[in-house]
Amino acid sequence: MSQNRTSLAANARAKAGKGAARAVRRTGNIPGVIYGDNKEPLLVSVSDKELRLALGKKSFFTQLCELNVDGAKHLVLPRDVQLEPVYDRPEHVDFLRVSDKTIITVGVPLRVINEKASPGLTKGGVLNLIRHEVEVYCKATDIPVEFVADLTGLDVGQTIHIDALNLPAGVKPVLQGDFTVITIVAPSAMKSSDDETATAAAATAEGAAAPVAGAAAPAAAKGAAAPAAAAKGAAPAAAPAKGGKK
């Protein structure tokens, strides 16, 4: 499903430049420009209040707009709004003139559903939304409202890839390949528990090996003592032989 269209009223303006732009802003309007579609740029101004209301919508940069300039309608897509750095007030707005043949690159928001039907989340897993929006190529008149990811049956360690989103015909992701958009990861507590289990298992294995090493040590000591005793006993036997020579 493509976006619904909004509309904004605008007025044509004759002059460009910083001085002319400041004069427009003093009247409560924001200077802007319409460009694209192999036509000459058109200088316009829009109401500051109306632009602020439109900017408050998340879909502002992905929603087609009919810009009514002194009675003439222009189908446009907002592409950029320059903000005043201190107070974040709009200072200038750019509109791209489009048609049903215009191919654009746009970021489409991603929404998840059925969180309660995900075993991974119900057992304490954490939803890792790798991409809050997916950048795609599509016709300007066919921009999807959103992509929906169904979490039903998704367990810890499992993922959702771009192919599972069932993109509409004519809509292609900018990034190539079947890349991941969502995954369920184990929470920190679960990871700590797994680490403790692994540590305990290692300690148990080490403890089981210790008695074997201890048993071998006495046997070696006892064996070493026996030759020493034999050598000690052989020394007296040599003494009589020395006395017989005398």
pLDDT band at 59 (very low <50, low <70, confident <90, very high): confident
**Which CATH superfamily does the domain covering 6-98 fall into?**
Ribosomal Protein L25; Chain P (2.40.240.10)
The pLDDT of residue 244 is above 80: no
Q: Which residues of 193-206 are buried (b: 16+ CB within 10 A; e: fewer)?
A: eeeeeeeeeeeeee
pLDDT of residue 221: 43
* Greater pLDDT, 219 or 64: 64
pLDDT band at 15 (very low <50, low <70, confident <90, very high): confident
Mean pLDDT of 54-73: 90
Q: What is the dihedral sign for C-alpha 23, 29, 31, 33? A: negative
Length of the chain measured in residues? 246
Site of tokens 């300007």: 140
For residue 2, the 8-state DSSP code is B
Q: Identify the three-state secondary structure at position 89.
A: coil
- CA-angle at 74, arms to 70 and 76, nearest 5°: 130
pLDDT of residue 137: 95
pLDDT of residue 189: 54
- Confirm if 156 and 125 have CB atoms less than 8 A apart: yes
List the domain boundaries for the chain. Answer: 6-98, 104-189
Distance CA 163, CA 165 (A): 5
On whether the pTM is more than 0.85, the answer is no
Listed in order, strand segments (DSSP E) in the chain are 6-12, 29-36, 39-47, 65-69, 72-83, 90-97, 103-113, 126-129, 133-139, 147-150, 159-161, 172-173, 180-185
May I ask the CATH class of domain 104-189? mainly beta
Distance CA 164, CA 142 (A): 20
